[in-house]
Structure 1
Amino acid sequence: MFISRGTAVITGAASNVGIACAERLAHQGYDLTLIARDRQHLLVIAARITDQSGRSVEVLAANLALADELTRVEAILRRDASITLLVNHIDGEPAGLDSRTLMALGVIAPARLADALAAGFSARGTGSVINAASVAALVPCPFSRLH
């Protein structure tokens, strides 16, 4: 018998950190919704986690740096009352991305996704958000406007 802790949504789920997070949460009793750009990679990850844990794993391919895709994901999350945890994680090292894309992935998307779930979390009296960031955010970077 499986006891569910609800659904955990993980962004950047195709990265090593995202995969490790997903595996651990599945073994702790969470069903999962995995979000990243590469649908095929997500499907492979989802199948492996389901086989190992028996948990339900959904995939949602989206580039959260794109406004229309972020809006689509927000709408999906708002409708899902099973979500009890959001893990905002940037997928890998975004080297070579312009400032707008970095801001979209590192600030705007996490804030909007948390906001999309906040009303439901409040109404149900439960829900958590984990914002994972790189330690690079704490290190001064020459010629970088963002760190």
Structure 2
Amino acid sequence: MNNNKTVLVTGASSGIGLEFAKLFAKDGYHIVLTARDEQKLNEIAHQLKAQYSVDVTILARDLSLSDAAEELTAEIMAKGIEIDILINNAGFAAYGPFIETSWKEEKDMIQVNITALTTLTKQLLPDMIKRNRGKILNVASTAAFQPGPLMAVYYATKAYVLSFSEAIDYELRNTNVSVTALCPGATATNFEKRASLESSRLFQSGAMDAHEVALSGYTALIKDKALVIPGIKNRILASIVRFLPRKTVLKVVHYVQDKK
């Protein structure tokens, strides 16, 4: 089908973001793709156009740069593109004790995981409200439900994403605009390589497929659900931490994050 609606997907060059782009293209949405790698985005755009006959717009941006998100929305508006659905997927992590990790990397992480996500929501939400239709999905994580020794800043950024998403969705409860927080656990993408997590107990214990995670988020978004945690194991773990002493939670998270 072709519903003439347009979705913006950030972090669309691989992993969950790429799977979201495929799912929306399959259902006839026009796609706006953004990520740092313009060549990769062009390859994806060619594939989506050929397979699904949808319009695909490429806007390469590095969202770790302070003005990138605002420049992105300004260009979208200048092109006269109306964004019906926003998928805030871009994000990354850094691994190691806070005292040893790179401040630049963590500052960039805060910029991408929090500031860019909030900026895009702030810029695109008003038009959705004016049209009284629209959907936003913010990719948080099961990391949002507890503090994370060895990935302290990353876990904190995802706690922000979850809290922010649930609050805004509640504020919009009397409109036809919804916000969904997607909280995946370990997922097989380039994420774990960038964060040097391949050998951690967390990823050694098994990771979900990126398509499966994106499909869970896509289904929840269409149904206007405020929160979705893909996978039974992840849902159980997210629930259990609420009942455990905080010191126990910290010990467990440190253990699974640690490398064998």
What corresponds to 1:121 in structure 2?
A: 128
Equivalent position SS for 1:83: coil
What corresponds to 2:85 in structure 1?
A: 85
Identity value in percent: 29
Pairwise CA distance, 1:124: 1.0
Greater fraction of residues in strand = 1
| Displacement over 3 Å in runs of 4+ | 77-81, 93-97, 136-140
What corresponds to 2:101 in structure 1?
A: none
User: What is the one-letter code of the residue matched to 2:13?
Assistant: A
- Please say which structure displays the higher CA radius of gyration: 2
How many residues of Structure 1 are paired with residues of Structure 2 in the alignment?
145
Pairwise CA distance, 1:107: 0.9
Gaps of at least 5 residues in structure 2 are 96-103, 156-260
Q: Which is worse superposed, 32-41 or 68-77? A: 68-77
TM-score under structure 1 length normalisation: 0.88
Gaps of at least 5 residues in structure 1 are none
What corresponds to 1:65 in structure 2?
A: 64
User: What is the one-letter code of the residue matched to 2:82?
Assistant: S
Equivalent position SS for 2:84: strand
Pairwise CA distance, 1:115: 0.9
User: What is the one-letter code of the residue matched to 1:54?
Assistant: S
After superposition, the C-alpha distances for 1:93-147 in whole angstroms (9 at most, x for unaligned) are 4446722111111111111101111111111111110001233344542244322
TM-score under structure 2 length normalisation: 0.52
- Structure 1 pair 85–66 and aligned structure 2 pair: CA distance change class (3 A): same
Distance 1:133 1:21 in 2: 15
What corresponds to 1:16 in structure 2?
A: 15
After TM superposition, list the pairs within 5 Å mapping 1:1-147 onto structure 2.
3-79=2-78, 80-91=80-91, 93-95=92-94, 98-138=105-145, 140-146=147-153, 147=155
RMSD, aligned CA = 1.9
